[in-house]
Structure 1
């Protein structure tokens, strides 16, 4: 098993070319021999579950990926929460064809609700993800990461959703390096932090529901409340573009206001400035509201700065 720690960044499709060009140039100018552009991959993935989403409800994603005439069976767990990051257990096996080998799951510590394997008789392919993946190996200030740019779509009998994102996966070092490099990207082109995995996108097409973090109890610490409102902000932001519904800017602004009450002054002031910008953009009748917001760099920069501070405060020394 590998533990996967990654930072997922939402990038509108019109900015993917800028992202790719910047990463190419970064590798070209880098003094590190490990900073290189890798081969571009076309990835076809089938995700399996029962009709009533038994695996997803237990925090398990099961897929088969086809790449370069090779089939890879993967299990991912929901894993631990790292405040806007993905920290998951991952198991992978090379298999001879596109048929599931469920005997391999004996290596996975399945939740108790799944150990009898009764669910396996009702498995079906519930959705697909098909996308092109550009890959860069990056080394920055002692942190080694794999940066991927994914463009494609999720499809199911219930509809489809776009895939347009960057993922920064930690290979060596710590997550501070991921955030520092993500901030470097955010100053070059617009992006935002996302907590929605490709598997969650597929499930959402059927269920039509937005998945929110669990709300802390009344006795929770200020730090726990700030982590909660931060993730609510991220969830609503992604949902606003998925649903193409600008009315969701209202719960976004509410979550930002709640978050600002929990944070040091410098971050609260950044959120207040963002809120003023959103209000002004709403009042500008000559603009497409969602396109105008997608074009701004300050949202993503603020998301990353607060996310980095929250992770340091929760799991290390905050400064």
Structure 2
């Protein structure tokens, strides 16, 4: 089993070329095996579950990935969002075709609800993702990472959703390097932190529900409550663009104001200023309001700065 730790960033299609140019230029500073652009991949992922969403309810996802004529079977646990980053268990096997090999699950510590294995006969393909992946190896002094840009779609019998995102995956070293590099990218290109995985997008198509983090007890520490409101805000921001409904900017703003109460003064003030900026855009009667909001660099920069602060609190 491997533990995958990644920082995901939303990006709008009109800004992808700028992000790729930034990554190309970064690699050209010092070309080596751990800092270079890699070949672009065309990926197909078929995700499997029962009609009753047995795996999803147990916190697991199972897929077959086709890449360059090879097939890879993957099982992932839901894991946890570590203050905007995803940490989850992952098992992978090369398989001969696009058919699941369920015997491989003997290597996975299944949750109790799945151990009876009766669900295996009811597995069906519930959605799939098709996307092009551009890949860069990036090296900072204390961090090695893989950065990918994915563009494509999630499709199912219930509808489809767009994939347009960047992922920074830790390969070795200090995980804070993911945030530090993301900040340098966000200074050049408007991006926003995302906690919504491709698998969650597929599930959302079927159930039409937005998945929020579990609410902590009122007696939880300030750091825990701050992390909760931070992630709630990230979910609302992504949902606003998925649903193309600027009305969701209101619960997003509410979440940010709840978060403000747990932050140090400088970060709290940055949220107040950001709220004023967003409010000014919302007052304008423009059909492109969501696109304009997604082009505000400060949104990504401020959320990354808060994410770094929250991560530091969690590590204490």
Q: Which residue of 2 aligns with 1:12?
A: 12
* Structure 1 residue runs without a partner (length 5+): none
* Structure 2 residue runs without a partner (length 5+): none
1:87 aligned to 2:84? no
Structure 1 residue 212, shift from structure 2 partner: 0.4
Q: Which residue of 2 aligns with 1:298?
A: 298
Q: Which residue of 1 aligns with 2:191?
A: 191
Distance 1:65 1:33 in 2: 25
Structure 1 residue 57, shift from structure 2 partner: 1.1
1:241 aligned to 2:235? no
TM-score normalised to the size of structure 2? Answer: 0.98
Provide the aligned length of Structure 1 versus Structure 2.
Answer: 316
Structure 1 residue 248, shift from structure 2 partner: 0.4
Residues 41 and 134 of structure 2 are in contact (CA less than 8 Å); yes or no, is this contact kept in structure 1? Answer: yes
Cα distance change of structure 1 residues 61 and 202 upon mapping to structure 2, 3 Å threshold: same
TM-score normalised to the size of structure 1? Answer: 0.97
Q: Which residue of 1 aligns with 2:97?
A: 97
Q: Which residue of 1 aligns with 2:78?
A: 78
Q: Which residue of 2 aligns with 1:157?
A: 157
Structure 1 residue 83, shift from structure 2 partner: 1.2
Q: Which residue of 2 aligns with 1:27?
A: 27
Residues 49 and 55 of structure 1 are in contact (CA less than 8 Å); yes or no, is this contact kept in structure 2? Answer: yes
1:141 aligned to 2:144? no
Structure 1 residue 286, shift from structure 2 partner: 4.3
Deviations 1:107-153 (A, max 9, x none): 00110000111111100000000000000000012210000000000
Q: Which residue of 1 aligns with 2:315?
A: 315
Query: 3-state SS of the aligned residue for 2:109?
Result: coil
Residues 229 and 255 of structure 2 are in contact (CA less than 8 Å); yes or no, is this contact kept in structure 1? Answer: yes
Deviations 1:208-231 (A, max 9, x none): 000001111121111111000000
Q: Which residue of 2 aligns with 1:278?
A: 278
Distance 1:64 1:193 in 2: 27
Structure 1 residue 285, shift from structure 2 partner: 2.4
Residues 32 and 139 of structure 1 are in contact (CA less than 8 Å); yes or no, is this contact kept in structure 2? Answer: no
Cα distance change of structure 1 residues 13 and 221 upon mapping to structure 2, 3 Å threshold: same
Query: 3-state SS of the aligned residue for 1:285?
Result: coil
Distance 1:156 1:288 in 2: 28
1:53 aligned to 2:53? yes
Structure 1 residue 81, shift from structure 2 partner: 3.2
Query: 3-state SS of the aligned residue for 1:40?
Result: strand
Provide the alpha-carbon RMSD of the alignment: 1.0
Structure 1 residue 80, shift from structure 2 partner: 2.9
Cα distance change of structure 1 residues 206 and 287 upon mapping to structure 2, 3 Å threshold: closer
- Write the mapping of 1:100-249 to structure 2, written as runs, cut at 5 A: 100-249=100-249
Residues 70 and 94 of structure 2 are in contact (CA less than 8 Å); yes or no, is this contact kept in structure 1? Answer: yes
Q: Which residue of 2 aligns with 1:264?
A: 264
